[in-house]
């Protein structure tokens, strides 16, 4: 009997989706990436899974929604529940909220085009039509109002201070070898580090003040660590080394 293909459904610029994609790549899972457009995704996601959020992994026999559950499914080693919880509940959402509180209010932003890059034509068409509504929804759902931005910047600095201290004298976060906790931290900080191995974050045009902040953070220990994880492990781990 023919094996059904494994599909990973993502938003192009989502760092939670990147977390799942990296774990699949690292553990040698063969899959096809499918990009959905924000807006039309809600109906499609509810039909495939149980809620509206991406990533979703469709193995052909199971539908697994959420990056954490996808990482569980890969069996990848190197889990640190406390540290990863800080990233999935605090730093990941904070980084996203910080960037969107600028991008969703910037009329010259190319965010919309980046989000629709690689999605099917019908979805891109519907997504563009729905964009004004979707944009409002995203602002509400993430509490990404423009006036929140300065306070969020200070919170991001505090998060980086915390992670700077975590990586002092450590190559990897768990057990002296690259694994799950490293993928979690590096992928959820990637929108700030903008490593070459994750080009989507270099494609997003940022407002001047945010660009300036990111440049100022570039040499921080935490973001240099992210850059190192991407350079050493994003596409160079050929086979499952978990």
Ligand X SMILES: N[C@@H](CCC(=O)N[C@@H](CS)C(=O)NCC(=O)O)C(=O)O
188: Cβ–Cβ under 8 A, 6 or more apart, which residues?
Answer: 15, 16, 19, 87, 88, 91, 92, 95
Residue closer to ligand X by CB (options 8, 229) is 8
φ, ψ dihedrals at 35, nearest 5°: -100, 135
Q: Which stretch binds ligand X (CB under 6 A): 10-18, 72-80, 98-106, 214-222?
A: 10-18
Residue closer to ligand X by CB (options 11, 178) is 11
Q: Within 10 A of 96 (CB to CB), how many other CB atoms are there?
A: 19
Residue closer to ligand X by CB (options 34, 42) is 42
Among 6, 29, 34, 42, binds ligand X (CB under 6 A): 42
Q: Is 134 in the site for ligand X (CB under 6 A)?
A: no
The region that residue 226 occupies, defined by phi over 0 for left and psi between -120 and 50 for alpha, beta otherwise, is alpha
Q: Within 10 A of 25 (CB to CB), how many other CB atoms are there?
A: 19
Q: Would you give the binding string for ligand X spanning residues 11-40, x where CB under 6 A is met?
A: x--x-x------------------------
Strand order in the sheet with 56-58: 32-35, 7-10, 56-58, 63-65
CA distance 54 to 100: 17
Residue closer to ligand X by CB (options 42, 125) is 42
Site for ligand X in 45-84 (CB under 6 A): 52-55, 66-68
Using CB under 6 A, count the residues that bind ligand X: 12
Could you tell me the smallest distance in angstroms from the CB atom of residue 138 to ligand X?
8
Q: Work out the angle between the directed axes of helices 180-193 and 15-26 (0-180°, nearest 10).
A: 140
Is 190 buried (19+), middle (13-18) or exposed (0-12) by CB count in 10 A?
Answer: buried
Could you tell me the smallest distance in angstroms from the CB atom of residue 169 to ligand X?
29
φ, ψ dihedrals at 241, nearest 5°: -120, 30
Q: Would you give the binding string for ligand X spanning residues 81-120, x where CB under 6 A is met?
A: -------x--------------------------------
Residue closer to ligand X by CB (options 67, 123) is 67
Could you tell me the smallest distance in angstroms from the CB atom of residue 168 to ligand X?
27
Site for ligand X in 210-229 (CB under 6 A): none
> Which residue ranges make up the site for ligand X (CB under 6 A)?
11, 14, 16, 42, 52-55, 66-68, 88
């Amino acid at each position: 009997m023919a094996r059904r293909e494994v599909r990973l459904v993502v938003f192009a610029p989502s760092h939670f989706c990147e977390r799942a994609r990296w774990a699949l790549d690292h553990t040698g899972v063969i899959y096809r990436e499918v990009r959905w457009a924000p807006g039309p995704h809600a109906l499609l996601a509810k039909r495939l899974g149980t809620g509206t959020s991406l990533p979703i992994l469709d193995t052909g026999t199971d539908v697994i929604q959420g990056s954490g559950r996808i990482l569980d499914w890969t069996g990848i080693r190197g889990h640190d529940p406390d540290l990863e919880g800080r990233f999935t509940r605090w730093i990941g959402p904070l980084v996203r909220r910080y960037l969107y509180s600028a991008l969703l209010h910037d009329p010259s932003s190319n965010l919309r085009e980046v989000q629709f890059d690689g999605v099917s034509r019908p979805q891109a068409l519907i997504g563009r039509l729905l964009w004004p509504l979707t944009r409002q929804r995203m602002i509400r759902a993430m509490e990404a109002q423009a006036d929140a931005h300065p306070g969020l910047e200070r919170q991001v600095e505090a998060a980086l201070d915390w992670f700077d201290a975590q990586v002092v004298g450590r190559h990897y976060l768990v057990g002296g070898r690259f694994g799950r906790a490293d993928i979690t931290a590096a992928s959820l900080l990637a929108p700030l580090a903008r490593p070459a191995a994750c080009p989507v974050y270099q494609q997003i045009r940022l407002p001047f003040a945010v660009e300036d902040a990111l440049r100022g953070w570039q040499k921080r220990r935490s973001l240099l660590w992210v850059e190192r994880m991407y350079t050493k492990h994003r596409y160079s781990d050929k086979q499952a080394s978990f």
